[in-house]
Amino acid sequence: MVRSTIIARVADGLPLAASLDDDEQEFSIHKQQAKALLKRLTESTDQRCSVETGPYVFHYLIELNVCYLCICDRSYPKKLAFSYLEELQKEFQQSFADRIETVDRPYALIKFDTYIQKAKRNYQDARSQRNVEKLNEDLQDVTRIMTKNIQDVLGRGERIDKMTEISSKLSEESKKYAKEARNLNLMAMYRKYGPPAIVVFIVLVVLYLYSKF
Protein backbone atom coordinates (compact mmCIF):
# COMPACT_ATOMS: atom_id res chain seq x y z
CA MET A 1 0.00 0.00 0.00
CA VAL A 2 0.97 3.65 -0.39
CA ARG A 3 2.18 4.84 3.01
CA SER A 4 3.23 8.44 2.50
CA THR A 5 3.77 11.05 -0.20
CA ILE A 6 6.05 14.08 -0.59
CA ILE A 7 6.13 16.59 -3.45
CA ALA A 8 9.21 18.78 -3.75
CA ARG A 9 10.89 21.25 -6.10
CA VAL A 10 13.95 19.68 -7.71
CA ALA A 11 16.04 22.86 -7.99
CA ASP A 12 16.44 23.26 -4.22
CA GLY A 13 14.68 20.26 -2.66
CA LEU A 14 12.03 22.51 -1.09
CA PRO A 15 8.99 20.41 -0.05
CA LEU A 16 5.87 21.92 -1.59
CA ALA A 17 3.22 19.49 -0.33
CA ALA A 18 2.92 16.18 1.48
CA SER A 19 0.37 13.74 2.81
CA LEU A 20 -0.71 14.18 6.43
CA ASP A 21 -0.23 10.66 7.76
CA ASP A 22 -1.69 9.05 10.87
CA ASP A 23 1.46 6.98 11.42
CA GLU A 24 3.81 9.98 11.29
CA GLN A 25 6.07 8.69 14.09
CA GLU A 26 6.46 5.25 12.53
CA PHE A 27 7.75 6.76 9.29
CA SER A 28 9.82 9.58 10.74
CA ILE A 29 13.15 7.91 9.89
CA HIS A 30 12.04 7.01 6.37
CA LYS A 31 10.69 10.51 5.80
CA GLN A 32 14.06 11.92 6.83
CA GLN A 33 15.67 9.62 4.28
CA ALA A 34 13.15 10.77 1.67
CA LYS A 35 13.94 14.44 2.36
CA ALA A 36 17.68 13.72 2.16
CA LEU A 37 17.06 11.97 -1.17
CA LEU A 38 15.06 14.93 -2.49
CA LYS A 39 17.90 17.33 -1.65
CA ARG A 40 20.30 15.26 -3.77
CA LEU A 41 18.19 15.38 -6.92
CA THR A 42 19.48 17.36 -9.89
CA GLU A 43 18.44 17.94 -13.47
CA SER A 44 20.61 15.00 -14.52
CA THR A 45 19.03 12.59 -12.01
CA ASP A 46 17.01 9.62 -13.28
CA GLN A 47 13.54 10.92 -14.03
CA ARG A 48 11.94 7.77 -12.62
CA CYS A 49 13.48 5.56 -9.99
CA SER A 50 12.70 3.15 -7.15
CA VAL A 51 14.88 3.24 -4.03
CA GLU A 52 14.69 0.38 -1.54
CA THR A 53 14.94 1.09 2.19
CA GLY A 54 14.22 -1.67 4.70
CA PRO A 55 10.66 -2.98 4.28
CA TYR A 56 9.70 -0.04 2.04
CA VAL A 57 10.45 1.41 -1.39
CA PHE A 58 10.62 5.07 -2.41
CA HIS A 59 9.15 5.46 -5.89
CA TYR A 60 9.60 8.85 -7.50
CA LEU A 61 9.11 10.61 -10.80
CA ILE A 62 10.37 14.02 -11.87
CA GLU A 63 8.36 16.23 -14.18
CA LEU A 64 8.80 19.95 -14.93
CA ASN A 65 11.23 20.56 -12.04
CA VAL A 66 8.98 18.84 -9.50
CA CYS A 67 9.59 15.48 -7.84
CA TYR A 68 6.66 13.32 -6.77
CA LEU A 69 7.73 10.68 -4.25
CA CYS A 70 5.74 8.01 -2.44
CA ILE A 71 6.74 5.49 0.22
CA CYS A 72 5.22 2.06 -0.38
CA ASP A 73 5.47 -1.45 1.01
CA ARG A 74 7.97 -3.58 -0.91
CA SER A 75 5.12 -5.87 -1.98
CA TYR A 76 3.15 -3.02 -3.56
CA PRO A 77 3.21 -3.22 -7.38
CA LYS A 78 5.62 -0.76 -8.96
CA LYS A 79 3.21 -0.22 -11.82
CA LEU A 80 0.48 1.01 -9.48
CA ALA A 81 2.92 3.23 -7.56
CA PHE A 82 3.93 5.08 -10.74
CA SER A 83 0.33 5.26 -11.93
CA TYR A 84 -0.49 6.93 -8.61
CA LEU A 85 2.40 9.38 -9.00
CA GLU A 86 1.35 10.21 -12.57
CA GLU A 87 -2.13 11.08 -11.32
CA LEU A 88 -0.68 13.36 -8.68
CA GLN A 89 1.61 15.02 -11.21
CA LYS A 90 -1.21 15.87 -13.61
CA GLU A 91 -3.44 17.31 -10.89
CA PHE A 92 -0.64 19.20 -9.14
CA GLN A 93 0.59 20.74 -12.38
CA GLN A 94 -2.92 21.75 -13.33
CA SER A 95 -3.55 23.32 -9.90
CA PHE A 96 -0.22 25.02 -9.13
CA ALA A 97 1.79 25.42 -12.34
CA ASP A 98 2.02 29.19 -11.85
CA ARG A 99 3.19 28.96 -8.22
CA ILE A 100 5.78 26.18 -8.28
CA GLU A 101 8.77 28.44 -9.01
CA THR A 102 7.74 31.30 -6.72
CA VAL A 103 7.00 29.38 -3.49
CA ASP A 104 9.59 30.31 -0.85
CA ARG A 105 8.51 28.39 2.27
CA PRO A 106 8.15 24.65 2.97
CA TYR A 107 4.75 23.04 2.43
CA ALA A 108 3.20 26.24 1.10
CA LEU A 109 0.90 24.08 -1.06
CA ILE A 110 -0.10 21.67 1.70
CA LYS A 111 -3.78 22.04 0.79
CA PHE A 112 -3.00 19.59 -2.02
CA ASP A 113 -3.13 16.92 0.72
CA THR A 114 -6.91 16.78 0.14
CA TYR A 115 -6.30 15.39 -3.35
CA ILE A 116 -3.42 13.18 -2.15
CA GLN A 117 -5.68 11.49 0.41
CA LYS A 118 -8.35 10.89 -2.21
CA ALA A 119 -5.82 9.36 -4.60
CA LYS A 120 -4.25 7.25 -1.82
CA ARG A 121 -7.63 5.72 -0.99
CA ASN A 122 -8.09 4.74 -4.61
CA TYR A 123 -4.69 3.04 -4.72
CA GLN A 124 -4.53 1.47 -1.26
CA ASP A 125 -5.78 -1.99 -2.18
CA ALA A 126 -3.72 -3.42 -5.03
CA ARG A 127 -6.29 -6.23 -5.40
CA SER A 128 -9.31 -4.01 -5.97
CA GLN A 129 -10.91 -4.38 -9.36
CA ARG A 130 -9.98 -0.84 -10.33
CA ASN A 131 -6.31 -1.43 -9.59
CA VAL A 132 -6.24 -4.90 -11.13
CA GLU A 133 -7.54 -3.32 -14.32
CA LYS A 134 -4.81 -0.69 -14.11
CA LEU A 135 -2.19 -3.41 -13.74
CA ASN A 136 -3.52 -5.01 -16.90
CA GLU A 137 -3.51 -1.78 -18.86
CA ASP A 138 -0.80 -1.25 -21.44
CA LEU A 139 1.04 1.36 -19.39
CA GLN A 140 4.69 2.29 -19.63
CA ASP A 141 7.07 -0.63 -19.05
CA VAL A 142 8.11 -0.08 -15.42
CA THR A 143 10.64 -2.91 -15.58
CA ARG A 144 12.99 -0.41 -17.21
CA ILE A 145 12.81 1.87 -14.20
CA MET A 146 16.01 1.49 -12.21
CA THR A 147 15.91 0.16 -8.66
CA LYS A 148 18.58 1.34 -6.22
CA ASN A 149 19.39 0.93 -2.55
CA ILE A 150 19.04 3.88 -0.18
CA GLN A 151 22.64 3.43 1.05
CA ASP A 152 23.92 3.61 -2.53
CA VAL A 153 21.98 6.81 -3.11
CA LEU A 154 22.59 8.61 0.19
CA GLY A 155 25.84 6.88 1.16
CA ARG A 156 27.63 8.03 -1.96
CA GLY A 157 26.72 11.62 -1.24
CA GLU A 158 27.77 11.25 2.38
CA ARG A 159 31.13 9.83 1.30
CA ILE A 160 31.66 12.76 -1.06
CA ASP A 161 30.73 15.21 1.69
CA LYS A 162 33.11 13.40 4.06
CA MET A 163 35.94 13.49 1.55
CA THR A 164 35.34 17.20 1.01
CA GLU A 165 35.39 17.77 4.75
CA ILE A 166 38.62 15.76 5.16
CA SER A 167 40.22 17.60 2.24
CA SER A 168 39.28 20.93 3.80
CA LYS A 169 40.72 19.88 7.16
CA LEU A 170 43.93 18.67 5.52
CA SER A 171 44.25 21.98 3.71
CA GLU A 172 43.82 23.88 6.98
CA GLU A 173 46.35 21.61 8.70
CA SER A 174 48.82 22.13 5.85
CA LYS A 175 48.52 25.89 6.21
CA LYS A 176 48.99 25.59 9.96
CA TYR A 177 52.10 23.42 9.62
CA ALA A 178 53.51 25.69 6.93
CA LYS A 179 53.12 28.70 9.23
CA GLU A 180 54.75 26.81 12.09
CA ALA A 181 57.62 25.78 9.79
CA ARG A 182 58.20 29.41 8.78
CA ASN A 183 58.28 30.44 12.43
CA LEU A 184 60.76 27.68 13.25
CA ASN A 185 62.98 28.71 10.35
CA LEU A 186 62.96 32.32 11.53
CA MET A 187 63.84 31.25 15.07
CA ALA A 188 66.69 29.10 13.74
CA MET A 189 68.00 32.04 11.73
CA TYR A 190 67.83 34.32 14.79
CA ARG A 191 69.77 31.77 16.85
CA LYS A 192 72.39 31.29 14.14
CA TYR A 193 72.91 34.87 12.96
CA GLY A 194 71.59 36.87 15.90
CA PRO A 195 74.66 36.78 18.20
CA PRO A 196 77.21 37.64 15.45
CA ALA A 197 74.94 40.43 14.24
CA ILE A 198 74.74 41.84 17.77
CA VAL A 199 78.54 41.69 18.14
CA VAL A 200 79.03 43.44 14.80
CA PHE A 201 76.47 46.06 15.77
CA ILE A 202 78.22 46.76 19.09
CA VAL A 203 81.60 47.01 17.36
CA LEU A 204 80.18 49.47 14.85
CA VAL A 205 78.67 51.56 17.63
CA VAL A 206 81.96 51.57 19.55
CA LEU A 207 83.92 52.56 16.43
CA TYR A 208 81.39 55.29 15.68
CA LEU A 209 81.63 56.71 19.20
CA TYR A 210 85.44 56.42 19.13
CA SER A 211 85.59 58.39 15.90
CA LYS A 212 83.44 61.14 17.44
CA PHE A 213 85.69 61.58 20.42
- Please enumerate in sequence order all residues whose Cβ is within 8 A of that of 192, keeping only pairs 6 or more positions apart, or say none: none
Q: For the chain, how many structural domains are there in total?
A: 2
Amino acid at 47: Q
Say how far apart CA 141 and CA 89 lie, in whole Å.
18
Lowest mean pLDDT among 53-62, 116-125, 151-160: 151-160
Q: Mean pLDDT over residues 36-63, rounded?
A: 88
Q: Mean pLDDT over residues 1-24, rounded?
A: 87
Q: Do residues 131 and 212 both lie within one domain?
A: no
* Three-state secondary structure of 80-148: HHHHHHHHHHHHHHHHHCCCCCCCCCCCCCHHHHHHHHHHHHHHCCCCCHHHHHHHHCCCCCHHHCEEE
Q: Mean pLDDT over residues 177-198, rounded?
A: 65
- Give me the domain span that covers residue 53: 2-144
Which of these three, 119, 144, 169, is where a domain ends? 144
Check: pTM over 0.85? Answer yes or no: no
Burial of 160 (0-12, 13-18, 19+ CB in 10 A): exposed
Task: Give residue 33's pLDDT.
Answer: 86
pLDDT, tens digit, 9 for 90 and up, residues 99-127: 999 999 999 999 999 999 999 988 886 66
Amino acid at 98: D
Task: Give residue 163's pLDDT.
Answer: 40
Q: Do residues 157 and 104 both lie within one domain?
A: no
Q: Do residues 28 and 45 both lie within one domain?
A: yes
Say how far apart CA 22 and CA 155 lie, in whole Å.
29
Q: Do residues 179 and 80 both lie within one domain?
A: no
